[in-house]
Amino acid sequence: MVEIKTAEALDAMREAGRVVARALAAVREAAEVGVALVELDAVARTVLADAGATSPFLGYRPAFAPVPFPAVICASVNDAVVHGIPTGYRLRDGDLVSIDCGAELGGWTGDAAITFPVGTPRPGDLELIDATQRALDAGIAAAVPGNRVGDIAHAIGGVAREAGLGVPADLGGHGIGRRMHEDPHVPNRGRPGRGFPLRPGLCLALEPMFLAGGRDGYRTGADGWTLFSGDGSRAAHIEHTVAVTEDGPRVLTLP
């Protein structure tokens, strides 16, 4: 079921979104060469606790998962696309890192993700990040009343294809509100004019996930959670929680 949020609910989600933004900023600042992924998770846990928020990630166990998710962030490095479990792996110069984080505050949820290089960036990584950000911006711009979910998907996927990037077929964004994952599903590629109609008060987590190698295939890692590009190429994942309003898209997970 799709829930249309009131103006008061959107304001409450904005507060949860601010917590997510603070957590992501703190993790990015801490992500230096030699820092372990579990240490980044500890940074995010502190931000959530200080805000009186909880994590929708911690303990989450969808049908596909062999175990509940054990952290408050997903930390995906290099060819890991999404759902990376923070481990003792220590960041190396040139790594490409995607961090996904959520927060529950006052009964409402925010969800966002960033991708960034550690140490000396590779030019190809910067181009991948730029294309992923442009795709997210295009998807946000399409999140207006009168459009449909397919218009968002088409906008996101069009940027990826123009840049020669792979788009994993089954992965995409989702509705969000009282829970982290709500209807409708938002693909990262699709046909315009199709899918669920966008109405004021609809909240969506838009999250392009692109593969630098240009192929769409991916595989599940041994932990049952982490998804890797099928060809070993690097991946980027950038996300914002966005509300459809009469005045245009409202991004709820900005700082």
Quote the percentage of the chain above a pLDDT of 70: 100
Quote the percentage of the chain above a pLDDT of 90: 99
> Across residues 15-25, what is the average pLDDT?
98
Higher pLDDT, 156 or 169: 156
> Across residues 215-223, what is the average pLDDT?
98
Give per-residue pLDDT as tens, 136-151: 999 999 999 999 999 9
Say if residue 194's pLDDT is above 90.
Answer: yes
Whole-number Å distance between alpha carbons of 72 and 57: 5
Helix (H/G/I), strand (E/B), else coil: 2 = coil
Q: With b meaning 16 or more CB within 10 Å and e meaning fewer, what string describes 78-110?
A: bbbbbbbbbbeeebeeebbbbbbbbbbbeebbb
Q: Is-above-0.85 flag for pTM?
A: yes
Residue 221 banded pLDDT, cuts 50, 70, 90:
very high
Whole-number Å distance between alpha carbons of 18 and 22: 6
Give per-residue pLDDT as tens, 80-113: 999 999 999 999 999 999 999 999 999 999 999 9
> Across residues 244-248, what is the average pLDDT?
98
- Our measurement of the distance from residue 106's CA atom to the centroid of its chain's CA atoms, rounded to an integer in Å, reads 21
Mean pLDDT of the chain, nearest integer: 98
Give per-residue pLDDT as tens, 34-70: 999 999 999 999 999 999 999 999 999 999 999 999 9
> 44 with 110: CB under 8 angstroms?
no
pLDDT at 87: 98
Say if residue 1's pLDDT is above 90.
Answer: no
